[in-house]
Amino acid sequence: MSEAPDLSESEAFAAEHALGVLNARERGDAEARMAREPAFAAEVEAWRERLAPMYAEVAAVSPTHELWRRIERSLPANDNAATTGRVRFWRNSAMGGFGLAAASLAAIAVILAQPPRIVTEVREVRPQGELISASLTATSGRAVPLFVAAYDPDRQAVIVTSLLPEGSNPQKVQELWLIAGKENPKPLGFLEPGRSKIIPVQTDMAGKIAAGAALAVSIEEPGGSKDPNGPQGPVVGVGELAKPV
């Protein structure tokens, strides 16, 4: 037992994700990697299976009798199989992975007249939640949108486009933050100048993404802000999330 070889970096990360010791940002990274790399996803699944026997320690307890009725009432009206093909068509084909976000942000997209580039694969989505979006404008001077973002509750991901010129300021990174209520800003991930990105959001964070919360972008040293309370570098764009009109 003491002679066990070290896990590869990739497997260790998969095991940590399965165990649940990763923080919000790392968890988002792990989810994104699972979506991108089937081999990594398989490693996470294998670790979940390895650890699953721990559930056997848990005694089964019957929930209240009423619960099934509550669940039944809260099921979405549309059955999975009956999902309207039309919505799905628009989501998946019209403008690729960026489809719906771009559609709901049409005004901004038209002004910019620059089709966003897709850098992340399209994942199948179920149109059940309502999209909310934000246009992030400069914190000083004219209200020029520098980033556009939408949160898709079905994919549990923020779809965000940086409108800064591609390749600008390569020594720094653009970090996306969620500002919800009175809490400190929470890091969501990194953007790339001039590109669109789909950033998965972990569930407890997703609960905070609602109309009225804000997204912000700061310019940070590579690796992002080291300050657990929020950005270290200057905040260059901020915008409030709102339901599409």
Partner 1 sequence: MAAAATTSDILTPLMTRVAGGDREALRQLYDATSAKLFGVCLRILSDREESEDVLQDVYVTIWRRADRFDATRASVTTWLSTIARNRAIDRLRARGPLAYAEPVDELEIPDGADSAETLLSAADDRNRLHGCLSELDERTAKVIRTAFFEGVTYEALAQRMDAPLGTVKSWIRRGLAKLKGCLQS
18 CB contacts (<8 Å, ≥6 apart)? 44, 47, 48, 50, 51
Nearest residue to 127 via CA among 166, 86, 160, 97 = 86
For residue 60, the 8-state DSSP code is P
Give helix 38-51 / helix 9-19 axis angle, nearest 10°.
50
Nearest residue to 178 via CA among 131, 217, 233, 132 = 217
Residue nearer to partner 1 on the CB measure, 67 or 94? 67
Cα–Cα distance between 133 and 198 in angstroms, integer? Answer: 13
Minimum separation from the CB atom of position 62 to partner 1 (A):
5
Please, what is the Cα angle at 26 between 22 and 31, to 5 degrees? 100
Minimum separation from the CB atom of position 104 to partner 1 (A):
21
The β-bridge relationship of strands 214-220 and 145-152 is unpaired
Q: Which residues pair with 219 in a beta bridge?
A: 174
Minimum separation from the CB atom of position 51 to partner 1 (A):
6
Minimum separation from the CB atom of position 20 to partner 1 (A):
4
Residue nearer to partner 1 on the CB measure, 56 or 113? 56
Residue nearer to partner 1 on the CB measure, 23 or 114? 23
Cα–Cα distance between 144 and 136 in angstroms, integer? Answer: 8
Residue nearer to partner 1 on the CB measure, 128 or 169? 128
Residue nearer to partner 1 on the CB measure, 120 or 174? 120
Cα–Cα distance between 188 and 202 in angstroms, integer? Answer: 9
Residue nearer to partner 1 on the CB measure, 81 or 245? 81
Minimum separation from the CB atom of position 126 to partner 1 (A):
6
Positions touching partner 1 (CB under 8 A) are 1-7, 12, 15-16, 19-23, 41-42, 45, 47-64, 67-68, 70-72, 74-76, 79-82, 126, 128, 202-204, 207, 228
Minimum separation from the CB atom of position 71 to partner 1 (A):
5
Minimum separation from the CB atom of position 139 to partner 1 (A):
28
Cα–Cα distance between 234 and 126 in angstroms, integer? Answer: 37
The β-bridge relationship of strands 157-162 and 196-200 is antiparallel
Residue nearer to partner 1 on the CB measure, 58 or 245? 58
